[in-house]
Chains A and B, each alone.
Chain A
Amino acid sequence: MILAVCGKGGVGKTTVSAVGARALASRGVRSLVVDADPAGGLAMALDIEPKKTLNDIRKELIAEIKAGQRDERDLAVSVDYLVAEALTEKGGIAFLAIGRPEDVGCYCKVNVILKDAIEGLGSMFDAVLIDAEAGIEQVNRKVMGSVDYVLLVSDTSAKAVRVAETIKGVADKMVAGEGAALLVNRFRDESEVERVRSETSLDVIGSIPEDDTVRTFDAGGTSFFDLPDCPASEAIDKALTQAGLFA
């Protein structure tokens, strides 16, 4: 099961992903958690310092190509090695960060090799959880073509819900899996959730209340692996269970 957490910036995708990582770890699911946001917020939320990022690997591969004498098979084998080296294991999960692309130039061959390697890596886990970059760009670039379920996170603002609907529209064309639903974050009053339900065509899989425990963890930079059970974590757990992440 590959589940991607998508949505507008600032709606709480990383919090949902971090709580999801904690839930996968506590259940003992053999899982890969991918921080696909170049800002690297999920690594911080889980207090993980990635050994290297996918972008570091990309740079190493480009250097290999420039050095010559390596054909595609050698490069594919090399990327498997480098990706294994980049996996950071903590709390029972394997973690991989995308990192921030810095170099210019088109290296389609490298990108294809990397995409194949990540898909191959994902197939060796029972669950893959991806904290996607804000907006539609990654979905649009078919980066997440093999995703089974797109979990759309929004707060209660109309703007965030519209962005989620746009992502769903793109995902319908670009993403292999058909699962998709909206998870409404940070509501203060049930009536806000009802309003969102009435204003969107998206299936609403759940709603997460504003929660001081989560706010405190966020503000203090404490690892979400140590987050105690709280109303927000229970709501996220319930939504991810319903989405089939732990099946």
Chain B
Amino acid sequence: MGLFDEQIKEVRAFIDEVRASGALRELEAAGAGDWPQRSSLVLEEDTALELGNPKIASLSVLLWTEESDLADGRVLLTGPDVAESTAPSLPFAQVLLAKGRFPNEYDSYRDLRDAVYDTHMEGLSVRTMPSKQTLWCRVSRDALSSGLSLVHLGAEYIDALKQVPGVTAAEALFVTSSAADVAKLSRAASGAQRLVDAMMKMYQEQNFDCETCEYQDVCDTVMDLKKIRKKLADGKAVQG
């Protein structure tokens, strides 16, 4: 059992549904080619395309597993790639999956998250609001005319995740098809957020008064959170 088994199952179900409808593109990160890595601030007047404006639809999720199978280096896309968009703004969901060994969940989470935060691409402004799981991107005119693709973005994320100790495989899913498709992933996203929040609380507060904790429901039902809680509580008892 893994921390995000339920969420990964939901994401897989979404992928299967899109694949069955013939709307899924399965691409290889290895074929993306290099893209300059540099933090960018793309202003409105330089923007060719906006992705994930929260007024339309925006979602960002990071999940990891020790057991589920991942197709390493695969970038999945449903909807138009940036160069194919006829609209100035597209809904956007980004789901990143990493597989590996994560003996310390909290440190692993922070390493994986920071790898994502530290991914920068020239001509692409990426702004993240972790508490809302939103991701707002602007693609510059220059980047678009130079051939920037979501495969480049996926390849950069996959590469960054695989730099994290213990990670053996990584995969990226991007959704630009519709706000309704983005919404289909919101349950998995909010579930993952709640698990991460519960884990963060355990590590940061080291308070195991479960009766008063707002995360009691998830801790009681997700085996891996129970294990983390027990590990931390036992450690605290030894220290005490």
Interface mask (B166-197 → A, CB under 8 Å = 1, otherwise 0): 00000000000000000000000000000011
Are A77 and B128 closer than 8 Å at their CB atoms?
Answer: yes
- Which residues of chain B (114-153) have a CB below 8 Å from chain A? 114, 117, 125, 127-131, 134, 136
Which of B38-46, B73-81, B83-91, B156-164 is the interface stretch? B38-46
Are B127 and A71 closer than 8 Å at their CB atoms?
Answer: no
Residues of A within 8 A of B230 (CB): none
- Which residues of chain A (67-85) have a CB below 8 Å from chain B? 67-71, 73-74, 77-78, 80-82, 84-85
Q: Once bound together, how far apart are the Cα atoms of A125 and B43, in whole Å?
A: 10
Q: How many A-B residue pairs have CB under 8 A?
A: 59
B204 at the interface (CB under 8 A from A): yes
Residues of B within 8 A of A85 (CB): 127, 136
Within 8 Å by CB of A64, from B131, B134, B204, lies B131
Are B127 and A80 closer than 8 Å at their CB atoms?
Answer: yes
* Given contacts A69-B204, A84-B136, A92 and B45 within 8 Å (CB-CB): yes
Shortest Cβ distance from B167 into chain A, in angstroms? 18
Are B113 and A73 closer than 8 Å at their CB atoms?
Answer: yes
* Interface size class, chain A: 20 to 34
Q: Tell which of A67, A71, A81, A85 has the most Cβ of chain B within 10 Å.
A: A81
Are A89 and B43 closer than 8 Å at their CB atoms?
Answer: yes
Shortest Cβ distance from B129 into chain A, in angstroms? 5
Residues of A within 8 A of B129 (CB): 77-78, 81-82
Within 8 Å by CB of A69, from B45, B113, B134, B197, lies B197
Shortest Cβ distance from B105 into chain A, in angstroms? 14
Are B136 and A121 closer than 8 Å at their CB atoms?
Answer: no
Are B45 and A71 closer than 8 Å at their CB atoms?
Answer: no
Residues of B within 8 A of A196 (CB): none
Shortest Cβ distance from B73 into chain A, in angstroms? 26
Are B43 and A69 closer than 8 Å at their CB atoms?
Answer: no
Residues of A within 8 A of B201 (CB): 68-69
What residue of chain A has the Cβ atom nearest to residue B198's Cβ? Answer: A69
A182 at the interface (CB under 8 A from B): no
